[in-house]
């Protein structure tokens, strides 16, 4: 007996030592440093993020975004991922409680006459101590109805870590959905303003083609009068054909933009009616960028990465605690009889059992070691991804702020250039009629004016898209 007690004590100590060997603190803290301000910016006010409907006033764009938020396939897929994560939370919600189930079992067994059970049952039936109801039949039926329970006692908080991991993954999946919403709104708005710019280009091309047709008719008349030659006619016609070719190419780009918008809205390609001249097409350019630390709370990708780190911390703790001994209790209580008519004769037919056991891995622990190595790598990977998200968010805002500043300056200069070239077109036509300039100068002026107007539209489009990108990079659109 003394030897047995010593053996039990030694076994318990060894089990605890094996478990405690893996008990080192392994939680990574989220302490990523971030600059206190953006370059060339002294604004230290807290950021109050606008709702996306406060940023966009165009009714067509608002309608497109509303439709996409209902029908976009990527967003629907993200909602299903949330349901998957929610199922994980539900699965682990009661993991620390006993698992209780109902077991119904009907069986029939024939014992051989030359077996221990067969001989024993035969001998038992000859006993005078049993009643006729207790005689064991052969074959032997077994009617069993019982509640069974298995319960792992969470001695070390191992199961609690599984719950924490599932909850963190669920929250992470929600931020994943918010990230898709943010990017979806930004992509729809950017594509819409791309479509708007293309429609403006078509209108400018139509006007320029009309001017070029007038110039072509004029040079034909001057050729008939002997004031121009065939070379001038051919150059004028070539310029006209080039403008018509560009118009066809732009119309194809419009088709592609409309198809993309419809796809983002979850619908088949169709024509999108827009008003190019509407005052509501301009985006609000004044966006408070706040302080860089605001990104940690506003950016859904940063929040998603943060909860992925929390989940990886919990998974690593679980992998470490898997080396600890586990205490399991198995029990059942119910009714059992080899006679169906006697099954409900309680308490005579009552049967129960309870068994508790302490178990820990001692030798072949390769699976646990492999899980631990994998959990450590996943934890480091999750933290690296978190650092990357923070760094990328700061970079995007920094680039967007400078982009808006430079585009505003370029837009002002381009407006002045377009005004000058528009006046030069009228002047060149008057001078050409009077014979004071040649057709090459007229062609050059018209070409430069057309190019300049298209560039103005492109810069104006970039200004709107830059505002959209700044809004997205600050974490707007999902709240």
Question: What is the tens place of the pLDDT at every residue in 120-175?
Answer: 888 888 787 788 888 888 888 888 899 998 888 888 888 888 888 999 999 999 99
* Greater model confidence, 472 or 25: 472
* Model confidence, pTM: 0.79
| Integer CA distances (angstroms), 272 to 196, 254, 261, 463, in order | 10, 10, 9, 22
Whether the per-residue pLDDT at 341 is higher than 60: the answer is yes
Beta bridge partners of 357: 328
Beta bridge partners of 355: 330
* Greater model confidence, 312 or 447: 312
Beta bridge partners of 140: 109
Region of poorest pLDDT, from 8-12, 66-70, 80-84: 8-12
Mean pLDDT of 92-97: 77
Whether the per-residue pLDDT at 12 is higher than 50: the answer is yes
**What is the rounded distance in angstroms from the CA atom of residue 117 to the CA atom of residue 317?**
49
How confident is the model at residue 40, as a pLDDT?
56
> Nearest-CA neighbor of 397 among 323, 268, 302, 310?
302
Whether the per-residue pLDDT at 215 is higher than 70: the answer is yes
Q: What CATH class is the domain 24-96+154-324+374-473? A: mainly alpha
> Nearest-CA neighbor of 401 among 475, 470, 468, 476?
470
Whether the per-residue pLDDT at 400 is higher than 70: the answer is yes
pLDDT mean across residues, the chain: 84
Mean pLDDT of 336-354: 85
Whether the per-residue pLDDT at 228 is higher than 90: the answer is no
User: How many CB atoms lie under 10 A from the CB of residue 142?
Assistant: 12
Find out whether 40 and 394 touch, Cβ atoms under 8 Å.
Answer: no
Residue carrying the six token digits 């950021």: 47
271 SS3 class: coil
Q: To which H or E segment does residue 21 belong?
A: none
How confident is the model at residue 379, as a pLDDT?
93
How confident is the model at residue 263, as a pLDDT?
96
Angle at 21 between CA 15 and CA 24, to 5 degrees: 140
Give 16-34 pLDDT, tens digit per residue: 555 555 445 566 767 667 7
- What is the dotted CATH code of the domain comprising 102-152+326-359? 2.20.200.10
Domains of the chain, by residue range, sit at 24-96+154-324+374-473, 102-152+326-359
Region of poorest pLDDT, from 88-102, 332-346, 447-461: 88-102
Q: What are the E-state strand segments in 16-113?
A: 99-109
User: How many CB atoms lie under 10 A from the CB of residue 20?
Assistant: 12
Whether the per-residue pLDDT at 392 is higher than 90: the answer is yes
Q: How confident is the model at residue 4 (pLDDT cuts 50, 70, 90)?
A: very low
* Greater model confidence, 335 or 291: 335
């Amino acid at each position: 007996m003394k030897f047995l007690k010593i053996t039990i004590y030694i076994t318990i100590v060894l089990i605890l030592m094996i478990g405690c060997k893996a008990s080192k603190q392994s939680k990574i803290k989220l302490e990523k440093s971030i600059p206190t301000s953006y370059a060339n910016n002294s604004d230290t006010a807290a950021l109050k993020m606008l709702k996306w409907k406060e940023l966009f006033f165009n009714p067509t764009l608002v309608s497109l975004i509303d439709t996409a938020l209902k029908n976009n396939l990527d967003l629907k897929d993200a909602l299903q991922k949330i349901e998957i994560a929610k199922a994980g939370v539900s699965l682990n919600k009661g993991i620390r409680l006993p698992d209780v189930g109902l077991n119904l079992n009907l069986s029939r067994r024939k014992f051989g006459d030359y077996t221990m059970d067969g001989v024993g049952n035969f001998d038992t039936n000859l006993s005078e101590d049993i009643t006729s109801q207790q005689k064991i039949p052969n074959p032997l039926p077994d009617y069993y109805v019982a509640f069974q329970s298995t319960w792992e006692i969470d001695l070390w908080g191992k199961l609690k870590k599984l719950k924490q991991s599932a909850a963190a993954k669920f929250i992470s999946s929600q931020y994943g959905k918010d990230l898709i919403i943010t990017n979806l709104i930004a992509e729809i708005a950017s594509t819409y303003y791309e479509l708007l710019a293309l429609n403006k280009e078509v209108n400018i091309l139509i006007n320029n083609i009309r001017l070029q047709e007038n110039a072509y008719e004029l040079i034909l008349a001057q050729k008939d009068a002997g004031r121009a030659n065939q070379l001038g006619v051919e150059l004028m016609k070539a310029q006209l054909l080039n403008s018509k070719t560009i118009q066809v190419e732009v119309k194809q780009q419009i088709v592609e933009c409309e198809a993309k918008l419809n796809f983002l809205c979850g619908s088949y390609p169709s024509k999108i009616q827009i008003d190019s001249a509407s005052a509501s097409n301009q985006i609000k350019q004044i966006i408070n960028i706040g302080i860089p630390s605001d990104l940690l709370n506003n950016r859904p990708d940063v929040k998603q990465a943060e909860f992925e780190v929390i989940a990886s911390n919990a998974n690593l703790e679980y992998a470490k605690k898997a080396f600890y001994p586990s205490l399991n209790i198995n029990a059942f209580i119910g009714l059992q009889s080899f006679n169906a008519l006697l099954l409900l004769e309680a308490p005579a037919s009552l049967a129960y059992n309870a068994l508790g056991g302490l178990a820990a891995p001692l030798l072949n622990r390769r699976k646990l070691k492999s899980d631990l190595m994998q959990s450590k790598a996943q934890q480091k990977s999750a933290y690296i991804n978190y650092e990357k998200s923070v760094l990328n968010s700061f970079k995007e805002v920094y680039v967007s702020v400078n982009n808006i500043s430079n585009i505003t300056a370029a837009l002002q200069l381009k407006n002045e250039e377009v005004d000058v070239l528009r006046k030069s077109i009228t002047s060149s036509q008057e001078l050409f009629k009077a014979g004071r300039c040649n057709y090459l100068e007229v062609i050059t002026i018209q070409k430069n004016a057309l190019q300049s107007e298209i560039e103005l539209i492109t810069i104006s489009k970039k200004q709107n898209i830059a505002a959209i990108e700044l809004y997205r990079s600050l974490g707007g659109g999902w709240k």
